[in-house]
Amino acid sequence: MNIIVCAKQVVDVSEMKVDSSTKKPILQGVPQKISDIDKNAMEEAIKIKDKHGGKITVLTVGPADAKERIKELLAMGADEGILIPYPDKYDYHVVSTLLTEAIKKIGEYDIILCGEASIDLFSGQIGPRLAGLLGIPQITYAQSVNAEKDKITADRNMGDKSVTTESTYPVLITVTKEINEPRLPSLMQILGAANKPINDWTVESLADGLNPKIDAVELNGIPMERKNIIYKDNVDESVKNLVDSLAKEGVLR
Amino acid sequence: MVLVFSDDKKLTLEMLSKGSELAKELGKKLTAVVIGKNDDALAKEYIAHGADKVFVAETDIESFKAEEYTELLESIIKETGAETVLIGSNKNGKELAPRLASRLNTGCVTDCTNLYFKDKKLTTERIVYSGNAIAVEQFNSKPQIATIPSKVFDPLPKDDKHTGDVVKKKFDVEKSASKILKIQEMKSEGVNVEDAEIIVSCGRGFKNKDDIKLVDDLAEILKGRTVGCSRPIAADLKWLAEEHWIGLSGHKVKPKLYIAAGISGQIQHIAGMRDSGVIVAINKDPEALIFKSADYGIVGDLYEILPKLTNAVKEKMG
């Protein structure tokens, strides 16, 4: 079974701070990591490989330092990594086209696994775009997967219902956070990952004249205008003050 | 032309409202797409809510599959020459829109919370970085596809005098290699936090599952009777079902009163409740982030405060 896992390096949003005057997020100096749900995709790939054998290739479009992050996935159990640098300008159209061309260059694949979305921007576009460009079925929001020799079944979390879908190969699957608990590699595995290859593929070798269809204009902060009246002394007094305030606000009717 | 599609009627009506505003500005017509069987009542309703045309794509497709719906919409967009496409951002729409965009080799912005023309370009706003920022983006080519979550726009009032055409066309779609084996409704307690007027929520500050009763009691007195919670309670501890979960990955709510007890105020939670009317926080940690997002707060032990608050509210309301 040849499995390709698409993984993205993102800022760790839980470590992000907001500039108190502009309310804009501060992106510099925030630790980077592999998007959490992409690790779930990686874990699922390992489970499938354990059952059926084969090869796992990690595919990333990202900055040069993403290599360090790809190593974590190699330590978890991927066999090989491929890093494509970000072009000067990019959007989901550009990134998905690069990934698609890279997948075609890899050639043989049965399953492409992605997270349902990356935790930084949470668009969820890459999976469906890849499936569309490759012209293969997509099974999104998978919360459990059962890979058999010539077909795969997945339970999809659709919120108010669960949909069980089956597909032949090749297929693209996006997984949710609930599907598994990504393993922590052992020290031996971490050391072993150093010997696994990470190949650099250039943008030019994959696509010509790629231009984004969407231009980023600006990133704005979200103003949170609240009264911030905090009672911290005697509990009985605080409760009384709060109830009086709520009554005045007209929400106790 | 501006084209609107969702398999959710309510969401379609909301998008028709924004769609008609955009169409007017462009001097173009607004079309709603219906996929499946012809439904005259539905077509009429879409017209009364702003559609100039309803395009009914008649097919024998029984259940939604992104591959097949993509092919249908691709044909419809090519046939109608639609340049602006709004798709409802439910789970089906969110996997449909990017696939459709890839087939049309075009741009797509998901989960837009605002949509307008600036310098004659369609401009979108959406929330990114776990609710910490708004990304403003612009399309530079067409067709342009945007997905819109529910409750972002209000539907136009019904206008029975508004007229429009209904166009029907049969489509044969190439069947996807995927197959739906089973559709199972998830267990529901019938809780709907998204429509609740008053919500009392609990978080990691609660020590035991049984202690949630403290929140129940207050919610009961407040006549909101709706209990919410943060991620750990629903996703990790599973003390409450996911329908109670408020936050970026849970439900987004807009009650007139939101009380957060024992919730630290992670940005993911704030993203789900920031639009509430009045926000109250109860937390023993005076430094808890939740207080920054609150109108009123009490610093102290929720086990002492909640019963007292329930009593005081009971007395006040008589």
Which two tokens mark B283?
A: 């937390």
Write out chain A residues lying below 8 Å of B109, CB-based. Answer: 123, 214
Q: What is A2-200's CATH topology?
A: Rossmann fold (3.40.50)
Q: In Å, what is the CA distance from B315 to each residue of A239, A247, B223, B297, B311? A: 12, 12, 14, 20, 6
> For B167-180, what is the mean pLDDT?
92
Q: In Å, what is the CA distance from B135 to each residue of B96, B112, B310? A: 22, 10, 41
Nearest of B139, B312, B293 to residue A216 by alpha carbon: B139
CB B140 to CB A213 under 8 A?
Answer: yes
Contact with chain B for residue A209, Cβ under 8 A = no
Half-sphere exposure of residue B316: CA atoms within 13 angstroms, side-chain side: 22
Q: How many CB atoms sit inside 10 A of residue A69's CB?
A: 23
Of B91, B123, B177, the CB nearest to A168: B177
How many Å apart are CA A173 and CA A128, to the nearest integer? 9
Q: Is B238 left (phi over 0), alpha (psi -120 to 50) or beta?
A: left
Of A138, A141, A153, the CB nearest to B99: A138
At residue A160, the pLDDT reads 76
In degrees and rounded to multiples of 5, residue A24 shows phi and psi of -85, 145
Distance of CA A148 to the CA centre of its chain: 25
Quick one: pLDDT band at residue B285, thresholds 50, 70, 90?
A: very high
CB A213 to CB B274 under 8 A?
Answer: no
Alpha helix stretches (DSSP H) within A107-186: 126-134
How many Å apart are CA B293 and CA A225, to the nearest integer? 8
Q: Closest chain A residue to B277 measured between Cα atoms?
A: A251
Which two tokens mark B232?
A: 């750990």
Provide DSSP, A18-59: E-TTT--EE-TTPPEEE-HHHHHHHHHHHHHHHHH--EEEEE
- The CATH class of B2-170 is alpha beta
Nearest of A69, A56, A82 to residue A118 by alpha carbon: A69
Summarised one tens digit per residue, pLDDT across range B109-122 is: 999 999 999 999 99
Contact with chain B for residue A130, Cβ under 8 A = yes
Q: What is the mean pLDDT of chain A?
A: 95
Quick one: pLDDT band at residue B187, thresholds 50, 70, 90?
A: low
Residues B124, B152: contact at Cβ < 8 Å?
A: no
Summarised one tens digit per residue, pLDDT across range B64-73 is: 999 999 999 9
What residue type is assigned to position A140 of the chain?
Answer: T
Domain ranges in chain B are: 2-170, 193-317
Quick one: pLDDT band at residue B170, thresholds 50, 70, 90?
A: very high
- β-pairing, B114-118 vs B107-109, is unpaired
CB A18 to CB B132 under 8 A?
Answer: yes
Domain B193-317: give its CATH code: 3.40.50.1220
CB B300 to CB A235 under 8 A?
Answer: yes
Nearest of A125, A165, A119, A173 to residue B96 by alpha carbon: A125
Q: What is the mean pLDDT of chain B?
A: 93
When scoring A99, A222, A237 by the number of chain B Cβ atoms within 10 A, the one with the most, hence best to mutate, is A222
> For B237-254, what is the mean pLDDT?
88
Identical fold for domains B2-170 and B193-317, yes or no, is yes
How many Å apart are CA B199 and CA B227, to the nearest integer? 6
Which two tokens mark B161?
A: 């005098």
Summarised one tens digit per residue, pLDDT across range A186-230 is: 999 999 999 999 999 999 999 998 999 999 999 998 877 899 999
Q: In Å, what is the CA distance from A64 to each residue of A70, A81, A87? A: 11, 13, 12
Residues B173, B61: contact at Cβ < 8 Å?
A: yes
> For A88-106, what is the mean pLDDT?
98
Which two tokens mark B27?
A: 């001097």
Query: Which single residue is written with the structure tokens 């998901």?
Result: B110
Q: In Å, what is the CA distance from B294 to each residue of A228, B129, B265, B273? A: 5, 21, 10, 11
- CA-CA-CA-CA dihedral for A216, A218, A219, A221, to nearest 10: -150
ipTM, 2 decimals?
A: 0.92
How many Å apart are CA A150 and CA B50, to the nearest integer? 48
Helices B302-317 and B213-221 sit at what angle, rounded to 10 degrees? 20
Q: Which residues of A, range 153-172, sit inside 8 Å of B by Cβ? A: 153, 158-168, 171
pLDDT of B51 strictly over 70: yes
